[in-house]
Structure 1
Amino acid sequence: MKFGPLGTVLRWKNRAPLPSLRLFSLLHSRSSFGIAFDIDGVILRGRVPIGGSPQALRRLCRDSGALKFPFLFLTNGGGIPESRRASELSELLGVNILPSQVVQGHSPFKNLLKRFENELIIALGKGEPALVMSEYGFKKVLSLDEYASYFKNIDPVSQYKNWTTEKIFNSKANTKDLVPRYDVLSDRVKAAFVVSDPVDWGRDIQVLCDVLRSGGLPGQENGPQPPLYFAADDLEYQAAFPSERLGMGAFRIALESIFNRIHHNALEYTSFGKPNPFVFKNAEAILRRLQPSCHDGYFMDNGNTGSNSFETLYMIGDNPLVDIRGAQKAGHPWFSILTRTGVFKGKENHAEFPADLVVDTVEEAVDYILKKESSF
């Protein structure tokens, strides 16, 4: 081999790496796996961390707080904006959580903005459902609390619900009469969104039946049913109480049963949330955007999602019918891990929807993943 002048060698040494070599280096510095955590029953019970979740999550982050491995929270819960949920999780867990790492049951509602952006819609559930929809960009949205308040006697037992009446009137301080923000007494509701678990089932079922069978204007004759969307369809979930609580799926069953008894057409609706495979495909896309480089913890996204596919995506959940079933329906590259800290408490694997792995806690799940992916 012949060498050129010394200056030539020095100039070669100082040249940047060839693009193909640089690309090879960047692609191989990415994590080959990502993790989706359920929250209730896996990370938290109520507002209390469980299963060693703070320690487990810290192992996925750098000392600077930046992501070492891509992970997000995939929950059917909601009722508040993703930004606020991220702040709450950061405070409770002592780990910096970005809004982009929080995927709630109602997050897919963003995809319906183009269709209903300027239409009158109602949003119901605990928390601040109207605020959630407004932050997604919907221009004419009312909570069912506010919407119902404009229709006198729509709830025949409202006089026995002083707590509800006080909340509505306090939100309209210094006004003697309820003045609608929109022309709700003549403008038809174009869609109803169940954003989170409803609080007042009786009132909400009554008002929804009025809206849906009248074509969007309570008190009118029957009309075409406006679209109805549920953020999730969980029958039960694990909260602070020792036994499971009824979820949005239970509310949907109650509403559907009553509506089908009083209306000639069956209730039509669309449910999002786990175990819908769409939710897992969406989570995979978000994890790709979160996928960090091992170089200084910077995020890189060249827009080519095909070049940074994962070898394995882990779904860690406590509900076989939702978390495990969803990962199974999504297929490769999802790998399901079932914890015993929430809905599932069995000694053996679940019979109908067996997980790829069963562990006691989320900390054990993360320990398993990091040992398996030890090359990172």
Structure 2
Amino acid sequence: MRFRSCFGVSQVKALSSRFRRLYSHLRPQGRRPSFGIAFDIDGVIIRGGNPIGGSPQALSRLHAEDGTLKIPYIFLTNGGGVPESKRASELSGLLGVQILALQVVQGHSPFRDLLSRFENDLIVAVGKGEPAKVMLEYGFKKVLSIDEYASFFKDIDPLSQYKTWRINQNYEIMKNMNGLYSRYNVDSDAVKGTFIVSDPVDWGRDIQVLCDILSCGGLPGKAKGHQPALYFASDDLEYQAAFPSERLGMGAFRIALESIFNSVNSTPLWYTSFGKPNPYVFKIAESVLMQVASTRYGGQCTVDDTKENKFSTIYMIGDNPMVDIKGATKAGRPWFSILTRTGVFKGKDNHQEYPADIVVENVDEAVEYILKKEAL
């Protein structure tokens, strides 16, 4: 079963206060633009860690000569694995413009709103990058990465001895690292929530350990029990990376886990999946854009603003018709979809099933189109 949600107003306001402090020395410069832009990242802005499609030039056009923000924009991505502040810093270095944490909405950003439910419970974070650090920065108190958690159980991964590329495979070394052994007793402290923060690295091990956690009430090796909560940061089947062909994403991992779990259990897997193309994610993105605009232009507008303060158009620039374009289309006005050919989509004409409002070669061409359309 799949249920989608997203992070709330309080989290947006908290992030916007940081943005406001950084721009507090600036005086409002003119009237706020009536439009905003949401950029996907992988396949639009970067590919394989490198800028593509003229993205540095495109982003620079949205800033004034002194580097301050001129056109409100955010990054709306199903990717993640690192805190929003770190992703903003990485993008700033790659693109040559100042990007703040408020401007980065990642697939796992909605996990913040689950803090009240799991703040003091043991949870397991899965994925590449720094999944446990992400959850700790959101305020969760008892977090283990799946690497750390698996280290408590000798022989839980029967194939570990063959994984010569792995480091710190020694059971006792891993179990005692960072004082984990003294802080957690996994024999009695059940896992209450499992969070797929980013794309898992070791699918075989992770599916095995997750099946153990989810089948046995959060206590691997024990009797069958009530399934702990399971959350996915996104449900992308494929995404564009450095390799010419698309790579399998978190949605593919979810399909594999669900198929295997349902094959070895009498009750089906229950989970919650976030991320695009959920229209509610686009509503949250609109709220974030309003906060970016209001803090930059000295206004008092909030996410509950009247119609006069809303954007007339929000441009979604993406490369994946089934995620970016489908989501913007379902969200409806004021969203306007722009499809690039630099990522998942490479067709000559528009996508047949999920056609965009316009198709362009790359993000630089997309920004050029927007600025001309808006007479800027």
TM-score of the two chains, using structure 1 as the length reference: 0.88
Aligned twin of 1:245: 247
Which has the greater radius of gyration? 1
Q: Deviation per CA, 1:44-70, whole angstroms, max 9, x where unpaired?
A: 011111111000000001112111010
Q: Deviation per CA, 1:14-37, whole angstroms, max 9, x where unpaired?
A: xxxxxxxxxxxx998111101000
CA distance in 2, matches of 1:324, 1:179: 47
Q: Specify the code of the residue in structure 2 equivalent to 1:234.
A: D
- CA shift in 2, pair 1:308/1:44, >3 Å: same
> 3-state SS of the aligned residue for 1:270?
strand
Deviation at 1:331, TM superposition (A): 0.9
Number of residues paired by the alignment? 347
Q: How does 1:100-179 map to 2 (within 5 A)?
A: 100-166=102-168, 179=181
Deviation at 1:221, TM superposition (A): 1.0
Aligned twin of 2:61: 59
Deviation at 1:180, TM superposition (A): 5.0
- CA shift in 2, pair 1:284/1:178, >3 Å: closer
Aligned twin of 2:39: 37
Q: How does 1:190-209 map to 2 (within 5 A)?
A: 190-209=192-211
Aligned twin of 1:300: 299
CA distance in 2, matches of 1:174, 1:216: 21
TM-score of the two chains, using structure 2 as the length reference: 0.88
- CA shift in 2, pair 1:129/1:299, >3 Å: farther
Aligned twin of 1:225: 227
- CA shift in 2, pair 1:209/1:169, >3 Å: closer
Preserved CA contact (<8 Å) 1:290 1:299: no
Deviation at 1:178, TM superposition (A): 7.1
RMSD of the alignment, in Å? 2.2
CA distance in 2, matches of 1:118, 1:46: 37
Aligned twin of 1:20: none
- CA shift in 2, pair 1:337/1:174, >3 Å: closer
CA distance in 2, matches of 1:124, 1:77: 13
CA distance in 1, matches of 2:84, 2:50: 19
Of 86, 94, 101, the match for 1:84 = 86
Deviation at 1:167, TM superposition (A): 6.3
Q: Specify the code of the residue in structure 2 equivalent to 1:264.
A: S
Deviation at 1:305, TM superposition (A): 2.2
Aligned twin of 2:316: 315
- CA shift in 2, pair 1:220/1:298, >3 Å: same
Runs of at least 4 residues of structure 1 off by over 4 A?
167-178
CA distance in 2, matches of 1:136, 1:340: 35
Aligned twin of 2:3: none
Preserved CA contact (<8 Å) 1:189 1:216: yes
- CA shift in 2, pair 1:372/1:169, >3 Å: farther
- CA shift in 2, pair 1:299/1:176, >3 Å: closer
CA distance in 2, matches of 1:96, 1:27: 18
Preserved CA contact (<8 Å) 2:44 2:318: yes
- CA shift in 2, pair 1:194/1:177, >3 Å: closer
Q: Deviation per CA, 1:204-234, whole angstroms, max 9, x where unpaired?
A: 0000000001111101111111110000000
- CA shift in 2, pair 1:27/1:170, >3 Å: farther
Aligned twin of 1:357: 358
Preserved CA contact (<8 Å) 2:105 2:285: yes
Preserved CA contact (<8 Å) 2:31 2:297: no
Tell me the percent identity. 68
2:262 matched to 1:263?
Answer: no
CA distance in 2, matches of 1:271, 1:175: 32
Aligned twin of 1:23: none
Deviation at 1:300, TM superposition (A): 3.0
- CA shift in 2, pair 1:173/1:31, >3 Å: same
CA distance in 2, matches of 1:90, 1:242: 26
Preserved CA contact (<8 Å) 1:68 1:292: no
Deviation at 1:175, TM superposition (A): 6.6
Q: Specify the code of the residue in structure 2 equivalent to 1:305.
A: D
Q: Deviation per CA, 1:219-274, whole angstroms, max 9, x where unpaired?
A: 11111111100000000000011110000000000000000000001111111011
> 3-state SS of the aligned residue for 1:166?
coil
Aligned twin of 1:16: none
Consecutive unaligned residues in structure 2, runs of 5 or more? 1-27
Aligned twin of 1:330: 331
CA distance in 1, matches of 2:87, 2:170: 25
Aligned twin of 1:183: 185
Q: Specify the code of the residue in structure 2 equivalent to 1:300.
A: G
Deviation at 1:140, TM superposition (A): 0.6
Q: Specify the code of the residue in structure 2 equivalent to 1:67.
A: L
Aligned twin of 2:21: none
CA distance in 2, matches of 1:166, 1:327: 44
Aligned twin of 2:13: none
- CA shift in 2, pair 1:89/1:176, >3 Å: closer
Aligned twin of 1:7: none
Q: Specify the code of the residue in structure 2 equivalent to 1:372.
A: K
Deviation at 1:43, TM superposition (A): 0.5
Q: How does 1:335-350 map to 2 (within 5 A)?
A: 335-350=336-351
